[in-house]
Structure 1
Amino acid sequence: MPPPGNRPIVFARYLAFAWCALIVYGSLHPFVGWRSTGIGVWTFIGAGWPRYWTAFDLLANVAVYLPLGFFLCLGLRNLRGRATALVLATVFGALLSLAMESAQNYLPSRVPSNLDLSCNALGALIGAVFGQLVAPRSLGRLEQAAQRLLSPLPHSELGLTLLGLWMMVPLSPEILLFGAGDLRQLLDVTPPLPFAVEHFSVIEAGVTACHALAVGLLLRCLLARWWQAYLLVPLFLLLGLLVRTLAAAVLVSPGDAWQWLTPGAQLGLQSSALALLLTLWLPLRAAAVLALLALLAGTAVVNLAPFNPYSQAALAAWQQGHFLNFNGLTRLVASLWPLLALPFLALWPVRGIGRST
């Protein structure tokens, strides 16, 4: 466990690493068609103003790197020098953007741009400045909140980072509700079961229930006291449902905002609510084991489930324009999230986990 006063800094480092990985994937997706154009790697730096650009492009490129600068500035706060964290966060953001723009020279679907580089560096600078301004006031309060809420076990910050990444799962409106872990698209595997209306609701309910139970128990494992889970777990899952609703409304159409609330999803939510009501009081060891089993079961079922016709229609409706790469990013996180959470639960520290808190 990090020394007292350092937990927010460690958490910020985890978030900075995760955000950096997301930027790399989003910048180079779809990772196909690599070739050399014969143009110098850094020729784009001295090029003129890009012919095609929009205000959306500029704001998006600033916004994407702003959290990176913020998290890095907070994560490097314990280095010597008042401006050291700010400078290093900004320089790292600019160098990462330079690396991504340079690599895009070799992707036929991407065009490197000095304007994108400038906006990315500006975003990292704004985020770092904001982190520098809020850190003196916020870090102490965050540490006090962490001591009240988080379990005093090692790597709780990593668990919080996993939960933060999980919030990208409901951003994919074409997958089953909370249906993380579907590897078939990545592995180009055909579903073993045909679609049947009479059976699909049961499968959908199983996927939703298992994943909601796993996520709820994972959050419970991170909390200092079991009774806190009865307030925070429902709020967290409700936030996931809100994200799902807003994602469907914005990325597909307002009329599809509540399309996820199918009979199968309702049954899964009701089942998981009952299961969580009966299990959130469990000791940490038992909660971690049950979360592991639920996540394994949910991942297995989602990979056996037939493709949902509505999911394919939703994907066709929103996979366009600026959201093409965003779709690839959210699908990757949704597919790989259980592979990140399973080792965390399986390798949960033994020391102190057997006691009830």
Structure 2
Amino acid sequence: MTSERHRSSATPLAAAFAALIVYASLFPFEGWRWPPGQQFTALLVLHWPRWATPFDDWSNFVGYVPLGALLLIAARRSGWRPLPSLALGVLLPAAMSYGAEVTQQFLPTRYSSLKDFVLNAAGGAVGALAGAALHAVGLIDRWHGLRQRWFVPRSAGALALLALWPMGLLFPAPVPLGLGQFGERLRGYALDWLDEVPWADPVYELLASVPTPTDRLWPPAEAAVTVLGLLAPCLVAYSVVAPGWRRAVLVAGALALGTAAMTLSTLLNFGPQHALAWLTPTVGPALLAAAGIALVLAPVGRRVACGLGLVVLTVLVTLVAQAPADPYFADSLQSWEQGRFVRFHGLSQWIGWLWPYAAGGWLLARLASRD
């Protein structure tokens, strides 16, 4: 029983959430310098801002609530007693927020604020208290029992991936459900790092000569991306769920979550009147086809599901890498990276970029195991 407690899905989710919050707090990681005329001790003192930013205030508070809850739940499922678990859920988010606010003073585009720290710490504390309340009334134990009935042992990694998948869809994608377009941005990072490095000239020229996708994907390829984008989480779920009716329920859940996440993403970028603009005549049938294929594959064994999932993910990232960024997609990126969505930039962008690779690593490890 004790060994199972250490495999709670709350633990990897809390770690991922903490890392992504730090990333979002320090984005864009450019222009590092010592604050002019400031002593080190002065940097440790935060000040209350003179301006009002309601959207940032709410995002600062709400963004830390899940972290506090996940930390407490992870600690409780790992065998910690109630008081130390609550202390972890309250103090660690506060310490993270204070460290981020102090560090922001070294970035010219970020502003440290005592109000941000208070709201972050309050959000973490509320989340920890909510997690404690859920645990006290037995909802966490009920979830654990439900998980034991639905999922095989050692499924925490897969459950964390499935929980993160809709969050990755919130960041604008070039094709609906097309996660994993990281290669072009990675090439840009590499070119920046290798610029004016004499010994790296051959590598720089090779990377610079790689053509950037300019032509729109062939419509059947766009439909294939959507099909594969929905099949991928279904097969990840199949890797930890025995064949049966539960798989059909999970397919319906993936379809609902994917549709809701894409609708919310479009709503945030283009307004409520365009919330369903992503659901084109090509995308709708592709989603239904993906759900049908997933149901046909429902009887396969878990190891077969792992192998099929690796194939699906490989083809998905290959096709997505060939998708260009159209003007609407570029406008969406600008609104996220420079507008008020900057607070959520790291949280959703990195999940969208890396989710297929993390899922592939999980499936590969599952295949290599003796379970």
Global fold match (TM > 0.5) = yes
In structure 1, what is the Cα distance between the partners aligned to 2:79 and 2:245? Answer: 37
Quick check: 1:45–1:114 contact (8 Å CA) kept in 2? no
Match of 1:130 in 2: 130
Q: How many residues align?
A: 347
Match of 2:198 in 1: none
Match of 1:52 in 2: 51
Matches within 5 A, 1:262-341: 262-316=280-334, 320-341=338-359
Deviations 1:191-234 (A, max 9, x none): 644325xx532221121112211221111212244331112112
Match of 2:95 in 1: 95
Matches within 5 A, 1:67-82: 67-77=66-76, 78-79=78-79, 81-82=81-82
Match of 1:61 in 2: 60
In structure 1, what is the Cα distance between the partners aligned to 2:55 and 2:214? Answer: 41
**Match status 1:166 vs 2:165:** yes
CA, structure 1 residues 328+89, in 2 after alignment: closer, same or farther (shift >3 Å)? closer
Quick check: 1:30–1:325 contact (8 Å CA) kept in 2? no
Match of 1:256 in 2: 274
Alignment partner of 2:300: what SS? coil
Alignment partner of 1:222: what SS? coil
CA, structure 1 residues 303+132, in 2 after alignment: closer, same or farther (shift >3 Å)? same
In structure 2, what is the Cα distance between the partners aligned to 1:46 and 1:224? Answer: 55
Alignment partner of 1:122: what SS? helix
C-alpha displacement of 1:251:
3.0
Quick check: 1:73–1:132 contact (8 Å CA) kept in 2? yes
Alignment partner of 1:176: what SS? coil
One-letter code aligned to 1:91: L
Match of 1:28 in 2: 26
C-alpha displacement of 1:46:
3.6
CA, structure 1 residues 172+80, in 2 after alignment: closer, same or farther (shift >3 Å)? closer
C-alpha displacement of 1:48:
4.2
What TM-score do you get using the length of structure 1 for normalisation?
0.89
Quick check: 2:169–2:261 contact (8 Å CA) kept in 1? yes
One-letter code aligned to 1:151: V
Unaligned 5+ segments in structure 1 are none
Q: Which of the residues 12, 15, 18 maps onto 1:17?
A: 15
In structure 2, what is the Cα distance between the partners aligned to 1:169 and 1:268? Answer: 20
Q: CA RMSD in A?
A: 2.4
CA, structure 1 residues 24+319, in 2 after alignment: closer, same or farther (shift >3 Å)? closer
One-letter code aligned to 1:71: L
Unaligned 5+ segments in structure 2 are 189-206
C-alpha displacement of 1:334:
0.9
CA, structure 1 residues 2+283, in 2 after alignment: closer, same or farther (shift >3 Å)? farther
In structure 1, what is the Cα distance between the partners aligned to 2:80 and 2:317? Answer: 45
C-alpha displacement of 1:329:
3.6
Quick check: 2:303–2:367 contact (8 Å CA) kept in 1? no
Deviations 1:315-343 (A, max 9, x none): 34565432134235422221111121111
In structure 1, what is the Cα distance between the partners aligned to 2:27 and 2:46? Answer: 24
Quick check: 1:205–1:266 contact (8 Å CA) kept in 2? no
**Match status 1:86 vs 2:86:** yes
C-alpha displacement of 1:80:
5.1
Match of 1:342 in 2: 360
Match of 2:224 in 1: 206
C-alpha displacement of 1:180:
0.7
Match of 1:121 in 2: 121
Quick check: 1:181–1:335 contact (8 Å CA) kept in 2? yes
Deviations 1:2-50 (A, max 9, x none): 645x27x722112111110111111111111111114245635545421
One-letter code aligned to 1:106: F
One-letter code aligned to 1:90: V
Quick check: 1:191–1:307 contact (8 Å CA) kept in 2? no
Match of 1:157 in 2: 156
